[in-house]
Amino acid sequence: MSELQGLQSRITEIHELDAEILAISIDPPEMNGRVAQKHGLTFPILSDHNREAMDRFGLRHEDGGMEGDDIFRPAVFVLDREGQVAWRKLTDDWRVRVRPGEIIEQLKLVE
């Protein structure tokens, strides 16, 4: 959650770059709403409860959970104005998250 709070703390800078934040979670919409409210997040957190977006982005880590279940790799995508992926950062370690500053630097490179 701290990565989303970090992005929220820099929302003005992100908006000045004419960019928006959109988070996607496998949690149900009600839970995402509670999380956003609890942490003061002003950007949407979409629910991918069926894991369709996660699979389309290739984020499924089969048998990666502690009990052998599938988990989803943390990822950040920066899209250009045409909706094409201009930059992405994926990790196999759910504890490793991209710093907001790194995302902002990539946003500055998108035309």
Which CATH number is 74's domain given? 3.40.30.10
Q: How many domains does one find in the chain?
A: 1
Domain hosting residue 32, numbered range:
2-109
- The pLDDT of residue 90 is 87
- The pLDDT of residue 1 is 61
- The pLDDT of residue 58 is 87
- The pLDDT of residue 72 is 83
* Of residues 76, 81, 83, the one with CA closest to residue 100: 76
Taking the whole predicted model, whether its pTM rises above 0.85 is answered as no
Take residue 48 and report the two structure tokens written for it: 């991918």
Q: How confident is the model over 31-48, as pLDDT tens digits?
A: 999 999 999 999 999 999
DSSP 23-64: EEESS-HHHHHHHHHHHT--S-EEE-TT-HHHHHTT-EETT-
Regions of the chain where pLDDT drops below 50: none
- The pLDDT of residue 15 is 95
108 touches 87 (CB < 8 A): no
CA dihedral 105, 22, 20, 5 (to 10 degrees): -60
